[in-house]
Structure 1
Amino acid sequence: MRLLSTLCGLASLVTLSTSTIFQNGQERETHFIDTRVAPITANSTGWKTYGPNATELAYKGRWDSKHVSWWAAPGLKFGFEGQNVAITFGNLTSQGVLVAYRLGGLDWHMSNVTAGATHQFVSPSTPGLNLTQPWQFPLTFELRVTNWAYGVQIAAVHLSTSSKLIKIPPYSKTIEFIGDSLTSGYSATYEAFSGFGYNIGAGFGNVEFSITAYPGICLHDADCWGNPRGQEYQWHRTPDTSPRAYQIWGAADPPKWDFAAHPPADIVIINIGTNDNNTANGAEPPVTRDQYLRSYLDFIPEVHAVYPKAQIVLMSLWNGFSAVGNSFVQTGAYTDEVYAVYKAFESDGYVHYFNSTGILQHNDIGPQWHPTDVGHVKIASHVMQYIRLKFGWEFAATGPEVQHETLYWNDEVRY
């Protein structure tokens, strides 16, 4: 069972449904584990319970004061002793949302979790639990929400009675991604968990990252594809523009994100404007080129004010491919405007331009007009190499799985 989001175009009008994963129009074999167990209470034997505000718990991405996750691929990570880990999810958890979880650097597992239920993710039979070498202690547990529209609420974390939580120090470098459906992995196999934003952040292996991206959202503060506000407003807020955000926090004044309470970004990667550029986005009146350019010129100083030491990378936009003659040609969106924003700040030294032209080919775009899983991998690989060469960041992911279930191979050597 997999929880999918259904959009009209790129609208954020989400309907909750469960379905299989379809790969190139055919059902894909999945291995989702039923992790639900009986409720764990204060009277349950064999368990020690920690509240969601335990200092040893590290929340990745944006979470609110109710311990509800927002935006794309938010996570939870902690160290622990013992052989059992279970989590009780609060009633504000999206029903049946698909989460990825893993022990240490082993491969990810998937499970649909339920609002108000307890799910056990680690038990004495968990592969690899007893294989840890002395230099690999403490054991670490990590959970990621795969979707961009749904989320979880952490109500409690449970360990074996004689065990304890251990705080894992954060990595020293941080990346923030600001974007829309392209960055958040819309229509990729595991959505945000398969998107290039996640692939870049997790691909380095030694950086913290946050993906402030949501499908259909514009940069300009307009109602686009059902998103009531644009990123120039919403980026400053804790929740995203999903329907559940307005159910939980209302539309009037969602809580602001406390940037000062979190480590500042060292690099900010911005890929946004495709929705501003689409006249079918529902914005009334439509977003004009001048409005988009002005919003971008205003947005960069806002990001710089929040992260005065950050390097800001503007990605050029791709807008699909068109058949021309007997081949295909990549079409861009706001090509001149994005480059003009870069040139406006070039002399300041903290704004950079990443030209994405030529990375994707027409078969890297899926039927929903977004990158395939391979397309996301290609984008992530090029951006990672750009960061490595431009800013001197070295790769450190030397084994742990990044993108789940992309082990495609051929064992037929004769045709």
Structure 2
Amino acid sequence: MAQRMNGGCSFALVFALSGCAPGNVAEPIGDRPALADAEIVSPGAAANEQASAASELERGPASPQPEAQPEAQPQPPPPVVADSTIQAGFTVDPTAQPGLVEFAAALEQVGTLWIGKLEGNGGRDVLIFIPPGADDAKPFELVFHFHGTYSEHVEQQREGLKKNQWVGWERLGQTLAAITQLQQDRPHHNVALIYPFSAGKRLEPGHRGWSNVAYDRMWMDPAAPPDYRDDFAKLHEQVTALLVDELGVHASKLPDAVIAEGHSAGGIALLNIARRGSAKVREYIFLDASFQSWADGCYAAVKDTGASAKLTLVVTDKGIADPFAGRDPWCVNMKAEAALWADKKSWCASRPSEQVAGSSWTCAELEARAEEWRDDYKAWCAAYEDGMQSLPEVTLIPTKVYHKDQPRRFSGGLGLPEDRWRP
């Protein structure tokens, strides 16, 4: 933009008007230079310059020039929508665990199977499976299935082999069969199963001492690389790239958000994913995996991070995940402890280290348990008793199906109502 000059006097009037000397300060008469030393301006020239100055004043200041507008940026082209060209066949990394390579060899060679190591799963094995009969024109549902205890190891059952060595083979077979049936039962979309393998028994960074925990507590928690570097966002990115670049799925057929499900101890992975605030998950399915602090913690994390995911809890009646009638009825126990604290609070006032009669807790411990119940679990357990009617983001599905059979019956939402969400 053109800049206006300061001062209202033209160059020709600099010496004609005493008030417009440099600095706009009139010089004292005694300090003026002699006439002979000054520039002499003829009367005619002065008159012409005065007329020119008057003309400039009449015209006023020059109009500001319009600012240059930035060039319009080219708009990105609209996304391309096209059919997939799904590549049937098996691709198996020979460096995968031997039992997994053997499992792939034993499968009927139909559909699409990929086995390899992915950094998003901490550099461990991941299996991707598209059942036979997938339709190139249809969209995909992606199901990330997190297995339970001991299933990180894959070995075929044989005489003399302990269950904790062959259960991984069985659970993997159950899940593939369920996904195959799911695609047949719901023909409006294709299904791809993503089956990562955990690190087995793995505790929190810095843990010292013995623990009876036999599962991976740090699955999908990149808390301390390189040992703890699992990252669901990275895993999702790598899986979708593989589906598009190697397995022939067109990007326009992939969903914006996926199903993440955990069976048994695999529920810990869902909790860890939710704590990271993933927007890539639309539903968390706990398959007899809603143990204390896992499903309720996942729900709290979804709310805290502003995510929009829903939760589905499939719970075997009187099974290991039933918080009221199961092996560990923690809702019942904590409610009773809170009531006991209310009764013993006065007695405990001066006895923080003494054990409370009727419990295994000291007064201080019992007080902490009562506060934990009040702050973290009371509302969740009350909602559970009411069938989760007060929490529209959570669907509770009690079942008589045994814990061990849930992957075959419910993986990917198989056997669950498609309209399981309340408006």
Task: State TM-score, norm by structure 1.
Answer: 0.36
Higher relative helix content: 2
* TM-score normalised by length of structure 2: 0.36
Who wins on radius of gyration, i.e. which is larger?
2
More strand per residue: 1
Higher relative contact order (CA 8 A, sep 6+): 1
